[in-house]
Amino acid sequence: MVTVHHRTVSTGGLDVFWREAGPADAPVLVLLHGYPTSSHMFRHLIPVLAERYRVIAPDHIGFGRSSAPSVDEFDYTFAALTEVTARFLSTIGVAHYTIYVQDYGAPIGWRLALADPGAVDGVITQNGNAYEEGFVAEFWYPIWADAAERTDETRDALRPALGRAAVEWQYTHGVPDPSTVDPDAWEHDIALLARPGQDDIQLALFRDYTTNRDLYPAVHAWLRTSRVPVLAIWGRNDEIFDAAGARAFLGDAPDAHIELIDGGHFLLESELDLVATTITNWLAAARLSH
């Protein structure tokens, strides 16, 4: 049975918590989580992948068990989260890796790749967007409105996204049988969102999300020139990033493997075995296991 370690390291005055498993000398997989969760979303996947890989899953600043300074103490932007992640990887001695990105993890992963293109050996994107085609307009409209108008009214319109109903919806929508999703997953997130200051943290990141769109042309150019292997494995019923976002990778990475699965945004909760098998087979075929 694989042993999963739960560790914390200080970098730049901030504590980064991460989960790690697998041989120390194995190829590295860096798992970057989305909103509103943490490395907790990978709790079942890590032991499966760790049979052949060194698996590292950090909590972003403001999430999980990592430091969560107030918005007055830390600039909650995706650029700032990426800087901490890059320092964290350097601190623990990771120079080359394949990234698994989901939701918020995607723009952090893209920034890591653009800053150090040679460090990223492969990309696994699970409902992690890099194209305008992926945005579901109805979901994203209030976020774009807040980023553009920056008023108290547009900011407050996003507060329901922090609530119980919205968090549970992220886990259950698009899932053929919602009873397969463990309620502990969203209860874990809801408890962390209830911490003092979390509303300001998450609303700041909502407002900053539009900066990620500005990166997309550079990400596309990196995919074309690097020819990095890409697996886009997607819950095709996701009402946040729809399946068009997965297929769009073929425009810049024509050899990308696109896998659309009958599920929603948090695919690992309902289709863990299928996702894990697809990933391990793809890693072997892409020769990322040596």
pLDDT at position 101 over 50: yes
Nearest to 38 by CA among 134, 110, 124, 105: 105
Q: What is the mean pLDDT of residues 255-279?
A: 97
Q: In this model, does residue 283 exceed pLDDT 80?
A: yes
Spatial neighbors of 243 by CB under 8 A, at least 6 apart, are 234, 236, 260
82-91 pLDDT tens trace: 999 999 999 9
Residues catalogued as catalytic: 265
**Nearest partner of 167 among 151, 144, 188, 153, judged by Cα:** 188
Q: Contact at 8 Å (CB) between 197 and 229?
A: no
Confidence at residue 290, expressed as pLDDT on a 0 to 100 scale: 46
Q: Domain ranges in the chain? A: 4-284
Give the pLDDT mean for 226-249. 98
> In CATH, what class is 4-284?
alpha beta
Q: Which of 233, 209, 72, 227 lies closest to 142, judged by CA? A: 209
Query: Per residue in 114-159, pLDDT tens?
Result: 999 999 999 999 999 999 999 999 999 999 999 999 999 999 999 9
Tell me the C-alpha distance between 69 and 11, whole Å.
14
Assigned token pair, 268: 């690992």
Distance CA(194)–CA(179), nearest Å, equals 25
Residue 184 CB partners (closer than 8 Å, separation 6+): none
- Please, which pLDDT band fits residue 287 given cuts at 50, 70 and 90? confident
Comparing CA positions, the residue from 214, 212, 266 lying closest to residue 239 is 266
